[in-house]
């Protein structure tokens, strides 16, 4: 192990979207803005701000347009948002985003519950999103959810997730983020999945989006890292979950990932102390104790 570690890893922060979408109590726009500002101040370089989805499906993110309009990020920062359809794309374009993310699930039941579509219908819908977005000069990322397991169907055939990934890349998505939506993945399964994907797809086209529901997200990230994955999604303080995936609590905490990577000599561009501050803001914004380990324990400095 640890023979092919990189100098730098790219972290894609999802807390304002994957985190806040799952909060039951309404969170005021100003509080969301405080979280976004704190994340940007910590050096986050890629940030998923919100979703341009139906406000009836995800009321918490109904203020997406206003939130994006109010964000000012330093040059070089990529801001993105989820877009399920052409209407979402138009909203994203109107507020000046340069990147969006389409999403679907590898399992039919979760896809239906999350987007009211079959997998084929979702991919058809993306034909109305990805080409126009590329023409408008935007970049498009994609998610495939339930790759490690589905809350409704159980095991998911990895070959199915790979075939969907290849269709998304062929459509023009620059990267596909593979979701362990309900945090059921274990390291050996992650190794098999990464080996399967990396045999067919260049490593920079793959990201891992790991939920830490059962405490295995960091172990799975380490397996991906060792096999050549360089892009990881995470959420400050471990905020996160999908409202249409029962039990999908908590993304991989960004502080935990950054602590591990920095400790291994791998740069992220993020200031860990400032990130821990952003985690405190996340806790204040949500009004509840958040699960991230480094968030709770703090960082560690050797004493002289």
Q: Binding to ligand HMG by residue 114, rule CB under 6 A?
A: yes
Q: Check binding of 58 to ligand HMG (CB under 6 A).
A: yes
**Secondary structure in 3-state letters for the chain:** CCCCCCCECEEEECHHHHHHHHCCCCCCHHHHHHHHHHHHHCCCCEEEEEECCCCCCCHHHCCHHHHHHHCCCCCCCEEEEECCCHHHHHHHHHCCCCEEEEEEECCHHHHHHHHCCCHHHHHHHHCCCHHHHHHCCCEEEEEEECCCCECCCECCCHHHHHHHHHHHHHHCCCEEEEEECCCCCCHHHHHHHHHHHHHHCCHHHEEEEEECCCCCHHHHHHHHHHHCCCEEEEEHHHCCCCCCCCCCCCECEHHHHHHHHHHCCCECCCCHHHHHHHHHHHHHHHCCCCCCHHHHHCCCCCCC
Among positions 46, 141, 209, 295, the unique one binding ligand HMG when judged by CB under 6 A? 209
- Residues from 185 through 224 that contact Mg ion (CB under 5 A): none
Q: Has 242 been annotated as catalytic?
A: yes
We find the least distance from the C-beta atom of residue 239 to ligand HMG, in angstroms, to be: 12
13 scored as a contact of Mg ion (CB under 5 A) = no
* 18 binds Mg ion per the rule CB under 5 A: yes
Nearer to Mg ion, 225 or 242 (CB): 242
Q: Which stretch binds Mg ion (CB under 5 A): 10-18, 70-78, 122-130, 199-207?
A: 10-18
Q: Tell me the closest approach of the beta carbon of residue 293 to ligand HMG, in angstroms.
A: 20
Using CB under 6 A, which residues numbered 124 to 143 contact ligand HMG? Answer: 143
Site for Mg ion, rule CB under 5 A: 18
Q: Which residues are catalytic?
A: 242
Site for ligand HMG, rule CB under 6 A: 18, 21, 51-54, 57-58, 82, 84-85, 87-88, 91, 103, 114-116, 143, 145, 179, 181, 209, 211, 242-244
């Amino acid at each position: 192990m640890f023979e092919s570690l990189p100098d730098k890893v790219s972290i894609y922060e999802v807390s304002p979207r994957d985190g806040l979408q799952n909060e039951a109590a309404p969170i005021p726009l100003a509080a969301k803005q405080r979280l976004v500002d704190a994340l940007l101040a910590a050096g986050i370089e890629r940030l998923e701000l919100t979703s341009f989805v139906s406000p009836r499906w995800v009321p918490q993110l109904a203020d997406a347009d206003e939130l994006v309009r109010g964000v000012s990020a330093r040059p070089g920062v990529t801001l993105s948002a989820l877009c399920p359809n052409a209407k979402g794309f138009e909203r994203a374009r109107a507020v000046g985003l340069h990147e969006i993310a389409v999403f679907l699930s590898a399992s039919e039941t979760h896809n239906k519950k999350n987007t009211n579509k079959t997998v084929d219908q979702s991919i058809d819908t993306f034909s109305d999103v990805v080409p126009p977005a590329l023409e408008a000069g935007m970049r498009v990322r994609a998610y495939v959810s339930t790759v490690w397991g589905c809350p409704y169907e159980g095991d998911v055939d990895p070959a199915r997730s790979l075939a969907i990934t290849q269709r998304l890349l062929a459509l023009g998505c620059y990267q596909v983020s593979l979701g362990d939506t309900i945090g059921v993945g274990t390291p050996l399964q992650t190794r098999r999945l990464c080996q399967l994907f990396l045999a067919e797809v260049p490593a920079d086209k793959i990201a891992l989006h790991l939920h830490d529901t059962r405490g295995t997200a960091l172990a799975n990230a380490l397996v991906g890292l060792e096999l050549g994955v360089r892009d990881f999604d995470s959420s400050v303080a471990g905020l996160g979950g999908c409202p249409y995936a029962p039990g999908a609590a908590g993304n991989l905490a960004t502080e935990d990932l950054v602590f591990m990577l920095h400790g291994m000599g791998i740069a992220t561009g993020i200031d860990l102390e400032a990130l821990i501050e952003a985690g405190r803001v996340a806790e204040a914004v949500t009004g509840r104790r958040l699960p991230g380990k480094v968030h709770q324990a703090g960082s560690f400095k050797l004493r002289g």
